[in-house]
Amino acid sequence: MFLTDADLQSIWLTARLAGITTLILFVVGTPVAWWLARTRSPWKGPIGAVVALPLVLPPSVLGFYLLLAMGPNGPVGQMTQALGLGTLPFTFWGLVVASVFYSFPFMVQPLQNAFEAIGERPLEVAATLRASPLDAFFSVALPLAKPGFVTAGILTFAHTVGEFGVVLMIGGNIPGVTRVASVQIYDHVEALEYMDAHRLAGVMLVFSFLVLLALYAWRPNGRK
Protein backbone atom coordinates (compact mmCIF):
# COMPACT_ATOMS: atom_id res chain seq x y z
CA MET A 1 0.00 0.00 0.00
CA PHE A 2 1.12 3.45 -0.91
CA LEU A 3 0.12 5.03 2.43
CA THR A 4 0.50 3.48 5.88
CA ASP A 5 -2.55 2.60 7.95
CA ALA A 6 -1.71 5.46 10.29
CA ASP A 7 -1.63 7.82 7.32
CA LEU A 8 -5.02 6.62 6.09
CA GLN A 9 -6.40 6.96 9.59
CA SER A 10 -5.19 10.55 9.78
CA ILE A 11 -6.67 11.37 6.37
CA TRP A 12 -10.03 9.89 7.34
CA LEU A 13 -9.94 11.85 10.61
CA THR A 14 -9.10 15.04 8.75
CA ALA A 15 -11.94 14.53 6.30
CA ARG A 16 -14.37 13.82 9.13
CA LEU A 17 -13.26 16.90 11.06
CA ALA A 18 -13.49 19.15 8.00
CA GLY A 19 -16.85 17.70 6.96
CA ILE A 20 -18.47 18.09 10.37
CA THR A 21 -17.00 21.58 10.80
CA THR A 22 -18.37 22.63 7.42
CA LEU A 23 -21.84 21.29 8.21
CA ILE A 24 -21.91 23.05 11.59
CA LEU A 25 -20.71 26.27 10.02
CA PHE A 26 -23.44 26.15 7.36
CA VAL A 27 -25.94 26.23 10.20
CA VAL A 28 -24.12 28.72 12.46
CA GLY A 29 -22.53 30.93 9.82
CA THR A 30 -25.59 31.49 7.62
CA PRO A 31 -27.60 33.56 10.11
CA VAL A 32 -24.51 35.57 11.06
CA ALA A 33 -23.74 36.28 7.39
CA TRP A 34 -27.40 37.17 6.77
CA TRP A 35 -27.39 39.57 9.69
CA LEU A 36 -24.09 41.17 8.65
CA ALA A 37 -25.32 41.56 5.07
CA ARG A 38 -28.56 43.31 5.97
CA THR A 39 -28.16 45.09 9.29
CA ARG A 40 -27.83 48.83 9.71
CA SER A 41 -26.86 48.36 13.35
CA PRO A 42 -23.76 50.13 14.68
CA TRP A 43 -22.62 46.68 15.84
CA LYS A 44 -22.04 45.59 12.27
CA GLY A 45 -18.44 46.86 12.32
CA PRO A 46 -17.32 45.30 15.62
CA ILE A 47 -19.07 41.98 14.95
CA GLY A 48 -17.64 41.86 11.45
CA ALA A 49 -14.16 42.45 12.87
CA VAL A 50 -14.55 39.67 15.45
CA VAL A 51 -15.70 37.28 12.73
CA ALA A 52 -12.62 38.14 10.67
CA LEU A 53 -10.15 37.81 13.60
CA PRO A 54 -9.08 34.22 12.83
CA LEU A 55 -7.85 35.45 9.45
CA VAL A 56 -5.06 37.46 11.06
CA LEU A 57 -4.58 35.88 14.48
CA PRO A 58 -1.75 33.32 14.80
CA PRO A 59 -3.49 29.93 15.19
CA SER A 60 -1.51 29.36 18.37
CA VAL A 61 -3.08 32.46 19.92
CA LEU A 62 -6.58 31.30 19.04
CA GLY A 63 -5.71 27.79 20.24
CA PHE A 64 -4.31 29.12 23.50
CA TYR A 65 -7.49 31.04 24.36
CA LEU A 66 -9.70 28.15 23.35
CA LEU A 67 -7.61 25.80 25.46
CA LEU A 68 -8.09 28.06 28.48
CA ALA A 69 -11.82 28.43 27.85
CA MET A 70 -12.42 24.74 27.35
CA GLY A 71 -10.02 23.61 30.08
CA PRO A 72 -11.26 22.40 33.48
CA ASN A 73 -11.20 25.94 34.91
CA GLY A 74 -12.47 27.80 31.85
CA PRO A 75 -16.11 28.84 31.45
CA VAL A 76 -16.77 26.37 28.64
CA GLY A 77 -14.96 23.63 30.56
CA GLN A 78 -17.04 24.28 33.68
CA MET A 79 -20.19 24.05 31.61
CA THR A 80 -19.25 20.85 29.80
CA GLN A 81 -18.25 19.29 33.12
CA ALA A 82 -21.54 20.34 34.70
CA LEU A 83 -23.31 18.65 31.80
CA GLY A 84 -21.33 15.49 32.48
CA LEU A 85 -19.41 15.71 29.21
CA GLY A 86 -15.99 16.11 30.77
CA THR A 87 -13.63 18.59 29.14
CA LEU A 88 -13.14 19.12 25.42
CA PRO A 89 -9.37 19.54 24.96
CA PHE A 90 -7.63 16.48 23.55
CA THR A 91 -10.88 15.09 22.18
CA PHE A 92 -12.22 14.99 18.63
CA TRP A 93 -15.15 17.26 19.56
CA GLY A 94 -12.74 19.74 21.10
CA LEU A 95 -11.10 19.90 17.69
CA VAL A 96 -14.48 20.42 16.06
CA VAL A 97 -15.25 23.36 18.34
CA ALA A 98 -11.83 24.89 17.70
CA SER A 99 -12.18 24.39 13.94
CA VAL A 100 -15.57 26.08 13.93
CA PHE A 101 -13.94 29.20 15.37
CA TYR A 102 -10.86 28.89 13.21
CA SER A 103 -12.79 28.56 9.92
CA PHE A 104 -15.64 30.94 10.81
CA PRO A 105 -14.62 33.78 8.43
CA PHE A 106 -14.19 31.36 5.55
CA MET A 107 -17.87 30.51 5.84
CA VAL A 108 -19.29 33.89 6.79
CA GLN A 109 -17.51 36.18 4.34
CA PRO A 110 -18.44 34.45 1.06
CA LEU A 111 -22.01 34.08 2.31
CA GLN A 112 -22.17 37.71 3.37
CA ASN A 113 -20.94 38.78 -0.07
CA ALA A 114 -23.49 36.54 -1.75
CA PHE A 115 -26.36 37.91 0.36
CA GLU A 116 -25.26 41.48 -0.23
CA ALA A 117 -25.13 40.86 -3.97
CA ILE A 118 -28.78 39.78 -3.96
CA GLY A 119 -29.89 43.16 -2.66
CA GLU A 120 -33.25 44.21 -1.22
CA ARG A 121 -35.31 43.97 -4.35
CA PRO A 122 -35.94 40.20 -4.67
CA LEU A 123 -36.99 40.12 -1.01
CA GLU A 124 -39.34 43.06 -1.51
CA VAL A 125 -40.81 41.31 -4.51
CA ALA A 126 -41.30 38.16 -2.44
CA ALA A 127 -43.06 40.20 0.25
CA THR A 128 -45.47 41.69 -2.29
CA LEU A 129 -46.23 38.10 -3.32
CA ARG A 130 -47.18 37.31 0.31
CA ALA A 131 -43.97 35.54 1.36
CA SER A 132 -43.14 36.10 5.04
CA PRO A 133 -39.53 37.12 5.75
CA LEU A 134 -38.61 33.54 6.73
CA ASP A 135 -40.35 32.12 3.67
CA ALA A 136 -38.58 34.65 1.44
CA PHE A 137 -35.24 33.69 2.98
CA PHE A 138 -35.68 30.02 2.11
CA SER A 139 -37.51 30.40 -1.18
CA VAL A 140 -35.60 33.34 -2.65
CA ALA A 141 -32.42 34.30 -0.76
CA LEU A 142 -31.02 30.77 -0.36
CA PRO A 143 -31.47 29.72 -4.00
CA LEU A 144 -30.07 33.02 -5.25
CA ALA A 145 -27.07 32.72 -2.91
CA LYS A 146 -26.29 29.17 -4.02
CA PRO A 147 -22.96 30.08 -5.65
CA GLY A 148 -21.94 31.71 -2.36
CA PHE A 149 -22.81 28.55 -0.46
CA VAL A 150 -20.70 26.41 -2.79
CA THR A 151 -17.75 28.78 -2.44
CA ALA A 152 -18.13 29.04 1.33
CA GLY A 153 -18.42 25.27 1.74
CA ILE A 154 -15.33 24.53 -0.33
CA LEU A 155 -13.24 27.23 1.36
CA THR A 156 -14.31 26.15 4.84
CA PHE A 157 -13.62 22.49 4.17
CA ALA A 158 -10.22 23.18 2.62
CA HIS A 159 -9.18 25.64 5.30
CA THR A 160 -10.08 23.16 8.05
CA VAL A 161 -8.04 20.47 6.30
CA GLY A 162 -5.05 22.81 6.37
CA GLU A 163 -5.35 23.50 10.07
CA PHE A 164 -2.23 22.78 12.18
CA GLY A 165 -1.47 25.22 14.97
CA VAL A 166 -4.88 25.15 16.58
CA VAL A 167 -4.93 21.34 16.44
CA LEU A 168 -1.63 21.12 18.24
CA MET A 169 -2.82 23.49 20.98
CA ILE A 170 -6.22 21.89 21.52
CA GLY A 171 -5.88 18.32 20.37
CA GLY A 172 -2.32 17.32 20.86
CA ASN A 173 -1.37 14.26 18.90
CA ILE A 174 -3.56 11.26 19.73
CA PRO A 175 -3.74 8.69 16.89
CA GLY A 176 -7.29 8.22 15.62
CA VAL A 177 -8.63 10.96 17.86
CA THR A 178 -6.81 14.18 17.13
CA ARG A 179 -3.90 13.25 14.88
CA VAL A 180 -4.99 14.84 11.58
CA ALA A 181 -2.99 14.69 8.36
CA SER A 182 -1.06 17.89 8.91
CA VAL A 183 0.09 16.66 12.34
CA GLN A 184 0.90 13.24 10.89
CA ILE A 185 3.24 14.87 8.36
CA TYR A 186 4.91 16.80 11.18
CA ASP A 187 5.42 13.53 13.06
CA HIS A 188 6.94 11.87 10.01
CA VAL A 189 9.38 14.73 9.61
CA GLU A 190 10.24 14.72 13.34
CA ALA A 191 10.99 11.01 13.05
CA LEU A 192 13.05 11.64 9.89
CA GLU A 193 10.63 9.44 7.87
CA TYR A 194 11.00 11.65 4.85
CA MET A 195 9.49 9.21 2.33
CA ASP A 196 6.33 8.88 4.41
CA ALA A 197 6.17 12.65 4.79
CA HIS A 198 6.55 12.98 1.02
CA ARG A 199 3.68 10.66 0.25
CA LEU A 200 1.23 12.29 2.62
CA ALA A 201 2.37 15.80 1.71
CA GLY A 202 1.91 14.92 -1.96
CA VAL A 203 -1.65 13.76 -1.29
CA MET A 204 -2.40 17.02 0.52
CA LEU A 205 -0.87 19.06 -2.28
CA VAL A 206 -2.94 17.33 -4.96
CA PHE A 207 -6.08 17.62 -2.83
CA SER A 208 -5.58 21.33 -2.25
CA PHE A 209 -4.93 21.95 -5.91
CA LEU A 210 -8.04 20.07 -6.96
CA VAL A 211 -10.18 21.96 -4.46
CA LEU A 212 -8.97 25.31 -5.74
CA LEU A 213 -9.34 24.15 -9.33
CA ALA A 214 -12.95 23.20 -8.60
CA LEU A 215 -13.53 26.58 -7.00
CA TYR A 216 -12.17 28.55 -9.94
CA ALA A 217 -13.69 26.34 -12.61
CA TRP A 218 -17.13 26.50 -11.02
CA ARG A 219 -18.71 29.77 -11.97
CA PRO A 220 -22.38 30.48 -11.38
CA ASN A 221 -22.86 32.31 -14.67
CA GLY A 222 -21.93 29.10 -16.38
CA ARG A 223 -25.51 28.00 -15.72
CA LYS A 224 -27.70 26.85 -18.57
Partner 1 sequence: MSSIEASFQLDYPGFSLDVNLRLPEKGVTALFGHSGSGKTTVLRCFAGLNRAPKGRLVVEGEVWQDEGNGRAKGIFLPTHRRPLGLVFQEASLFPHLSVRQNLEYGMKRSGNKAGDGFEASVDLLGIRPLLERGPERLSGGERQRVAIARALLTRPRLLLMDEPLAALDLKRKLEILPYLEKLHDELDIPVLYVSHAPDEVARLADHLVLMEEGKVVASGPLMETLSRADLPSAFADDAGVVLEARVEGQEADGLTRLAIPGGRLLVSRVEAEPGKTLRCRIHARDVSLALTASTDSSILNTLPARVAAVVATDTPGHVLVQLELAEGVRLLARITERSRAALGIGPGLAVVAQVKAVALLA
Contacting residues toward partner 1, per CB under 8 A: 121-122, 124-133, 135-136, 139-140, 143-144, 146
Least separation, in Å, of the C-beta of 27 and partner 1? 22
Q: Which phi and psi angles does 175 have, rounded to 5°?
A: -55, 135
Q: What is the torsional sign of CA 149, 152, 155, 158?
A: negative
Q: Please say which residue, 31 or 119, places its beta carbon nearer to partner 1.
A: 119
Q: Please say which residue, 121 or 217, places its beta carbon nearer to partner 1.
A: 121
- Sequence-distant (6+) residues with CB within 8 A of 56 are none
Cα separation values, 137 from 105, 109, 115, 119, Å: 21, 18, 10, 12
Q: Please say which residue, 11 or 118, places its beta carbon nearer to partner 1.
A: 118
Least separation, in Å, of the C-beta of 144 and partner 1? 6
- Sequence-distant (6+) residues with CB within 8 A of 142 are 149
What one-letter code names the amino acid at 27?
V
What end-to-end distance do the CA atoms of the chain give, in Å?
A: 43
Least separation, in Å, of the C-beta of 131 and partner 1? 6
Q: Please say which residue, 5 or 224, places its beta carbon nearer to partner 1.
A: 224
Least separation, in Å, of the C-beta of 143 and partner 1? 4
